[in-house]
Structure 1
Amino acid sequence: MLIIDEQTLSQLNVLGQLTAVFSSIGGEFWLRGGWAIDFLLGEITRPHGDLDLVTWVQYRESLERALVEAEFEWMPVSDRQTDFRKGNVDIQFLYLTRSSEGNIIPNGLPEWVWRADSLPLKHFTLKGISSFVLSPNQLLEEKEVYEQIGRTLRPKDIESKKILTRIIAEG
């Protein structure tokens, strides 16, 4: 059993705050990365370095304003991403849009077409926090895309691929 450390508790607390902020702006977000897998499994499997989230680009301005008002440190990155920090918790938002053909793509990256089923509207709950999560197929595909473009998979990526493959197989 994984002992929940202070960093994990801080991340869960910030995730709860993010849920409230999104509720206040009428938007939604999806977890990606390690926390997404933990929510899919319903258990914390390992410590995480940060919170990785995706949301629609149309929420960007109101999200940034609301988070700054909630005392999150704002760190603009690019058209595709904004990072924030609250206490000891790093948060990355990847912004999504739709191409002219209706495909889901990261803002400004028309060559990276996401799966049509990547954004399910199903809540998963972990430690009393409820969140949408990217589909297991999208999470696995993201790892495979990174591998195809030459990013060396870390041990946690290899383990994540195994877990996601198992989740997909179990339906």
Structure 2
Amino acid sequence: MNFSLVNSQLKILDEINRICRSHNYKIWLRGGWAIDFLLGKVTREHSDIDLVSLIQHRENIEKSMVNAGFEKKPVSLLQTDFQKNDLDVNFIFAKISNEGNVIANGFPDWEWHKDSLSEHKYQLNGISIAVLNPLQLLEEKKVYEKGTGRKLRPKDIESMKIIQDIIDSKN
């Protein structure tokens, strides 16, 4: 494992977390780093950092990230991408309906689990951050192929097994 890369990514994640906390923007980890935070240890190298925030914070997060030296990549309805020190950071945005349902912006028919956006913080290397509920992480992997049109990668299949083990250990 490239510990220099891992440490660089954790440093950037800590920076993003501090930026968002200082402005009261709620964020949640998703993807590979979410799994590592749930486990409390780094399990593998990661190619990016995947995050979720609320749609009402999008414009302000974009400004804050650019002000902190992150390069903003072309924006789509679905997400905003940034890059810093050759590391990709991806934000998707969710909205809460009047009924309290969590919906991924741009996917009006994809309703998330009501407890997807837990306030519980997980710790890793001195960083404390919220993580998407494991049930939501698993569902995201299950709909990956349908949503992207691409086959599941071996790392996605392995992640699904790990997430299921996390879910099973909590029951």
- TM class by shorter chain equals over 0.9
**Residue in 2 aligned with 1:76?**
74
Check if 1:151 corresponds to 2:150.
yes
Consecutive aligned runs of 4 or more in structure 1 exceeding 4 Å deviation: none
Q: Could you tell me which runs of 5 or more consecutive residues in structure 2 were left unpaired when the two chains were aligned.
A: none
**1:135-164 superposed Cα distances (whole Å, 9 cap, x missing partner):** 110000111112455531111111111111
- Secondary structure of 2:143's aligned partner: helix
User: In structure 1, how many angstroms separate the alpha carbons of the residues matched to 2:98 and 2:107?
Assistant: 13
Percentage identity across paired residues of the two chains = 51
Q: Partner amino acid for 1:170? A: S
Are residues 15 and 152 of structure 1, via their aligned partners in 2, closer, same or farther at CA, if it must alter by over 3 Å?
same
User: In structure 2, how many angstroms separate the alpha carbons of the residues matched to 1:113 and 1:23?
Assistant: 26
Q: Partner amino acid for 1:152? A: K
Return the match for 1:51 from 49, 52, 62.
Answer: 49
Q: Partner amino acid for 1:161? A: M
Superposed CA RMSD in Å reads: 1.4
**Residue in 2 aligned with 1:129?**
127
- Secondary structure of 2:29's aligned partner: strand
**Residue in 2 aligned with 1:99?**
97
User: In structure 1, how many angstroms separate the alpha carbons of the residues matched to 2:157 and 2:88?
Assistant: 23
What is the CA-CA distance between 1:117 and the residue it aligns to? 1.2
**Residue in 1 aligned with 2:116?**
118
User: In structure 1, how many angstroms separate the alpha carbons of the residues matched to 2:27 and 2:120?
Assistant: 11
TM-score, normalised to structure 1, is 0.93
**Residue in 1 aligned with 2:27?**
29
User: In structure 2, how many angstroms separate the alpha carbons of the residues matched to 1:25 and 1:121?
Assistant: 16
Q: Partner amino acid for 1:39? A: F
TM-score, normalised to structure 2, is 0.93
What is the CA-CA distance between 1:109 and the residue it aligns to? 1.4
Q: Could you tell me which runs of 5 or more consecutive residues in structure 1 were left unpaired when the two chains were aligned.
A: none
User: In structure 1, how many angstroms separate the alpha carbons of the residues matched to 2:46 and 2:118?
Assistant: 23
